[in-house]
Amino acid sequence: MRLVPVSLLALAVAACSSTPPVETAPVATEIQLLALNDLHGRLEAPEEVVPVTMADGSVIRVPAGGAAMLGGALKAYRTDNSMTVAAGDLIGATPLASALFLDEPTIEALDLMGLDYSALGNHEFDKGVPELLRIQNGGCEQFTARTPCALDGSFDGADFDYMGANVFLPDGTNLLPDAFVRDFGAVQVGIIGLPLVSVPGLVAPNLVDGLVFTDEAETANALVPSLLEAGADTIVLLIHQGARGVERWDDKGCEGLSGEILPIVERLDPAIAVVVSGHTHAAYTCRLPMADGAGERLLTSAGRYGAFFTDIRLAFAGEQLVATRADNVVVQGESFVGRDGEVVAASPRLPLFTPDPAVAALVERTLDKARPQMERVVGRLSGPAPDHPDDLESPAANLIADAQLAATRAADRGGAQLAFINGGGVRDALVPGPDGAVTFEQLFAVQPFGNTLMTVTLSGAELKALLEQQFVTADGRDRESHLIPSGNFTFAYDLSLPAGERVVSMRLDGVPIDPARDYRVTTNNFVANGGDGYSVFTRGRGRTGAGLDLDALVDWIAEGRAVPAVGRIDNRTPAR
């Protein structure tokens, strides 16, 4: 089997002589896609619990994930006519073991698993374009605060191809390849890969300066003619955008399916028969009708953290695609004890896998080198600080906001009067040990991005405009997102009011905010540069920096802290 870029194939097709085809009886061929998404560098088993509904209606809970087990599962399922694909966010927002080494171990693990290519996700851009290209191409040139090649002394880059069909440089060329055709002999399969168009709002915008992100469906559809001309018998789209709302991952009825991927899928050319998606961390395998009654296409996602992979089968009669099916497979992992004291164990009623020994050795080597830094106790907490599953106010978020204010309050550190953390910047709960001890690894899991703190001046009127952006997207759609404030600031909102009028109260140290007065406000550089749609922050004046957000949290809990209560944000929306 060979993987050929579309641009090269087009030249090859143009150079071929026209030989009349030899008529033969259709040959039945089955092509397999093994699909992943949103691994986020989970080398160790993430202690994910997956509920599985059995044929008799009973539900069992099993452990899932871990790079070595995922590698073994893919090896066990792989057929002779197979390719392995991914829908992005394989790296970025990763646990400390991978992040300490700039996610090089995760890339090596994916190579060992046999990944062929992946769409870019938004988190692949977390450290900027030069570092992304180093991840793809290899080398030890330093583009971040961390030292590259620190694990093995060298780094060869990814063996698989990252794809960004809708990501363009200023000169109009693609940052990375847009599409390929995979030749299986009897049939050829076209592959398009792209991230979601809103990447500039999901990373610090300065990290993607100069890049142009185009509409997903329009970009994919524009590539269809060249793929068909190059011989593709069907086309698969890998896209880092997704759906949610399906109550059970193993319910193929997909009742309640929703999300931003759906209008994209509705607009796709009928030649695109399969869409492998991601981003929402949901798991589903759904059949959606194509426009104008042209048939159905598969839409799949394999959850997150390697807890699943999707086994997709494409059946051909001759060169004609005649059937498709997809199943999400639980990657049963090793047993563990949950927070409730219950043992979560693998079940013999589901497939069991043997860890891939090469991946397991890589993970162990990485952990051995990272462990001294990971296990260092950096502070204490009075109890657990939960995170909110929908990125709203939570004890963990409040703790971070308080830390950021403390780190920037001094005049020579920014002179901050209040601070905010975006809900999406809080990635995990913080659960201390029995003696309240918190390790560096735990803090890193909560704030893995390596953002810096920035303090800016905003007027009271600008502060209100900023908070209004929590409840409307850049393109005018309603949403509910939170900027969680430090403990000296409170606000209230009413979602029944028109956009722009939903923030009904703002107080600093108990005093109403004065629209004409200036305030010094701290947040991370991602938000300060307009990330998550908070463009008002880009109007901020007198910008000053104050080091890493994670360092601020380490300093804040070093001598011990009580877990802050929620209540800084008051939802006054009338009950329906």
**Of 405, 406, 452, the residue nearest 425 (C-alpha):** 452
Average of per-residue pLDDT across 498-515: 97
**DSSP-derived secondary structure for 128-187:** -HHHHHHHHH------SSSPTTTTTS-----SSEEE-TTEE-TTS-BSS--EEEEE-SS-
- 355 and 407 share a domain? no
- 413 and 325 share a domain? no
Q: Can you give the pLDDT at residue 489?
A: 98
For residue 472, give every residue at least 6 positions away whose Cβ sits within 8 Å of its Cβ, in sequence order, or none: 478, 479, 499, 500
7 versus 520: the higher-pLDDT residue is 520
Residue with tokens 């920096």: 545
- 307 and 252 share a domain? yes
- 304 and 403 share a domain? no
State the DSSP H helix or E strand holding residue 59, giving kind and residue range, or none if neither: strand 59-64
- 360 and 322 share a domain? yes
Q: Can you give the pLDDT at residue 340?
A: 67
Range with the lowest mean pLDDT among 361-370, 436-445, 468-477, 490-499?
468-477
How confident is the model over 95-130, as pLDDT tens digits?
889 999 999 999 999 999 999 999 999 999 989 999
327 versus 207: the higher-pLDDT residue is 327
CATH of the domain at 47: 3.60.21.10
By the 10 Å C-beta count (0-12 exposed, 13-18 middle, 19+ buried), 353 is classed as buried
**Of 181, 192, 189, the residue nearest 214 (C-alpha):** 192
Tokens of 138: 């290899």
Residue 115 lies in a domain: yes
Between vectors from CA 253 to CA 251 and to CA 256, what angle results, nearest 5°? 95
Structural domain tally of the chain? 2
Q: Can you give the pLDDT at residue 413?
A: 86
- Confidence grade of residue 530 (pLDDT, cut at 50, 70, 90): confident
Number of helices (H), then strands (E), belonging to the chain: the values are 13, 30
- 194 and 335 share a domain? yes
Residue 129 lies in a domain: no
Distances (CA, A) of 131 to 97, 112, 184, 207: 18, 21, 33, 10
Last residue of a domain, one of 319, 339, 366: 366
- 354 and 449 share a domain? no
How confident is the model over 337-377, as pLDDT tens digits?
876 678 999 999 999 999 999 999 999 999 999 999 889 99
Average of per-residue pLDDT across 518-529: 92
Q: Can you give the pLDDT at residue 206?
A: 78
CA distance linking residue 111 with residue 158, whole number of Å = 7
Task: Quote the domain boundaries for residue 524.
Answer: 376-571
SS3 521: strand
Range with the lowest mean pLDDT among 60-64, 257-261, 478-482?
478-482
Average of per-residue pLDDT across 525-530: 85
Residue 146 lies in a domain: no
Residue 419 lies in a domain: yes
CATH of the domain at 537: 3.90.780.10
Do residues 239 and 216 touch, judged by C-beta distance below 8 A? yes
CB atoms inside a 10 Å sphere around CB 67 = 32
Average of per-residue pLDDT across 408-427: 93
CB atoms inside a 10 Å sphere around CB 317 = 13
For residue 564, give every residue at least 6 positions away whose Cβ sits within 8 Å of its Cβ, in sequence order, or none: 385, 395, 398, 399, 402, 487
Q: What is the largest CA-CA distance in the chain?
A: 84
Residue 212 lies in a domain: yes
Average of per-residue pLDDT across 398-414: 94
Q: Can you give the pLDDT at residue 2?
A: 30
Q: Can you give the pLDDT at residue 547?
A: 73
pLDDT at 22 over 50: no
Average of per-residue pLDDT across 180-191: 97
Last residue of a domain, one of 333, 366, 399: 366
**Of 339, 432, 426, 442, the residue nearest 390 (C-alpha):** 426
Residue 433 lies in a domain: yes
pLDDT at 14 over 70: no
CA distance linking residue 346 with residue 60, whole number of Å = 10
- 361 and 389 share a domain? no
Last residue of a domain, one of 348, 366, 384: 366
CB atoms inside a 10 Å sphere around CB 410 = 11
Q: Can you give the pLDDT at residue 26?
A: 59
Q: Can you give the pLDDT at residue 27?
A: 55
- 41 and 190 share a domain? yes
Residue 268 lies in a domain: yes
Helices (DSSP H) in 114-178: which residue ranges?
A: 129-137
Q: Can you give the pLDDT at residue 148?
A: 98
**Of 124, 127, 122, 153, the residue nearest 140 (C-alpha):** 153
Residue 182: strand pairing partners:
3, 189
Q: Can you give the pLDDT at residue 137?
A: 98
Helices (DSSP H) in 324-483: which residue ranges?
A: 357-374, 395-408, 440-446, 460-468
How confident is the model over 122-181, as pLDDT tens digits?
999 989 999 999 999 999 999 988 899 999 999 999 999 999 999 999 999 999 999 999
* Mean pLDDT estimate for the chain: 91
- 220 and 278 share a domain? yes
- 338 and 209 share a domain? yes
Residue 576 lies in a domain: no
CB atoms inside a 10 Å sphere around CB 434 = 5
Do residues 294 and 267 touch, judged by C-beta distance below 8 A? no
Average of per-residue pLDDT across 287-308: 94
CA distance linking residue 484 with residue 480, whole number of Å = 12
Do residues 380 and 432 touch, judged by C-beta distance below 8 A? yes
- Confidence grade of residue 15 (pLDDT, cut at 50, 70, 90): very low
- 354 and 394 share a domain? no
- Confidence grade of residue 4 (pLDDT, cut at 50, 70, 90): very low
pLDDT at 20 over 60: no
- Confidence grade of residue 13 (pLDDT, cut at 50, 70, 90): very low
Do residues 469 and 533 touch, judged by C-beta distance below 8 A? yes
Distances (CA, A) of 520 to 143, 411, 459: 31, 11, 9
